[in-house]
Structure 1
Amino acid sequence: MASGWAGDGAVQEQIDSTIEDAVQRARSQLPKGESLTHCEECDTPIPQARREAIPGVRLCVKCQTEHDRENAAYAGYNRRGSKDSQLR
């Protein structure tokens, strides 16, 4: 049940769009191509098991962990300007 100017499926459309954006963002961060033998940030050798487990890997475990930690700070935002996004 929508109120005001929103259509009946507006809330679900917003939820679906937010999830789709998150999935696209995650897919864009997946490694592509051939795995490197050495980390592109610190030049540490990348173990063969890691290269086989994650095709296209470019970072060692230590650098990848730091990279993931930095990206976790990204909370995303709702560009659609709904009232619930303004209440955060």
Structure 2
Amino acid sequence: MAGGWTKDGDIQQQIEDTVEDELLRVRSQLPEGESLRHCEECEAEIPQARREAVPGVRLCVPCQSERDAEQRPHSYFNRRGSKDSQLR
């Protein structure tokens, strides 16, 4: 059941669009190419198991953890510019 300005199915579509936007954002940040043997940040050796598990890896685990912690949280609401895009 829709409410306010929304039509039936609009809320579910907004949820799906929000999930898809976040997946695209995360996928765009995945490393590509050949893995480095030493970390770009601290020059520590990257273990062989990590290089095989994460193709294109550029950072050691501690540096990657630090970078992940520093990233600003993103809005989990899809703001596509219409009144219908804001859940009430």
Aligned residue number for residue 74 of structure 1: 73
| Unmatched 5+ stretches in structure 2 | none
**Deviation of 1:17 (Å):** 0.4
**Deviation of 1:29 (Å):** 1.4
Aligned residues: 83
Aligned residue number for residue 54 of structure 1: 54
C-alpha separation in 1, matches of 2:6 and 2:74: 25
| Unmatched 5+ stretches in structure 1 | none
Aligned to 1:46, the other structure's residue is in SS state: coil
Aligned residue number for residue 42 of structure 1: 42
- Give the partner amino acid of 2:86: S
Runs of 4+ displaced beyond 4 Å: none
Q: Which has the higher contact order (CA 8 A, sep 6+)?
A: 2
Q: Percent identity?
A: 60
TM-score (norm 1): 0.82
Say what the alpha-carbon RMSD is for the aligned residues: 1.6
C-alpha separation in 2, matches of 1:45 and 1:7: 55
